[in-house]
Amino acid sequence: MGKIPAGLFDGNVEIFEHEGKAFALFNGNKIPIHRLPNHIYSKLFDYFLSDKDAFKATDNKCMSLSDRFNQFLICRFGSLDHNPDLDLSQENFTPEFYDCGKRGNCPFEFVLCDKVTIKTESGDMHVTRKEVQIIRLIASGNTDVQTADRAGIALNTLLTHKKNIYSKLGVQSQAQLTLLAVHNNLIQ
């Protein structure tokens, strides 16, 4: 028997997208997000409000607050899987990669989604939003010091990220990384 989806029996919350709307699997039921118990809905909404980049990105799109929240949930948690998006025993969130089919054309790409896919010679690789930020900064010609400063991280932290990114994507130089970034629409 395969794994059972989160939220079916485990008392946690699994969020997923269906026909453009965010739903939750909770206590074995598929329910609209706004029908979750108030303490759970509030945790999700506070999580959205605390992500200043996500809140700002959706603010300029002439969307109602509920539509902005719905979009955030879809981008951040849209895939139905076996890992809870909200583990109530630990009260922590686990964002996930969700292939919404809009990569390259989404106004929220790299802002709301937690992980994105980059096509490399050795296959598709998932990178985090922070890694995308660093890739963009490096590929735009910034020095390591400028990249660390603009990413809001220490230089040593940047160098660790950079080493991991190069290894993950199979690149050896800034030129190769820039080419990969251009081919994956990370920079123009």
For residue 3, what are its two tokens? 């794994």
CATH 1.20.120.430 matches 115-183: no
User: CA distances (Å), 166 to each of 87, 134, 177, in order?
Assistant: 33, 11, 8
Euclidean distance between CA atoms 116 and 103, whole angstroms: 8
Euclidean distance between CA atoms 74 and 21, whole angstroms: 7
- Distance between alpha carbon 105 and the CA centroid of its chain, in Å? 16
Residue 151 has phi, psi (to 5 degrees) of -85, -10
pLDDT per residue as tens, the chain (188 positions): 457 888 888 889 999 999 999 999 999 999 999 999 999 999 999 999 998 888 888 887 678 999 999 999 999 999 888 889 999 888 888 888 777 888 778 888 778 887 777 888 888 888 988 898 999 999 999 999 999 999 999 999 999 999 999 999 999 999 999 999 888 878 76
pTM (2 d.p.): 0.73
Q: Where in the chain is the domain with CATH 1.10.10.10?
A: 115-183
In DSSP terms, which residues pair with 86 in a beta bridge? 13, 93
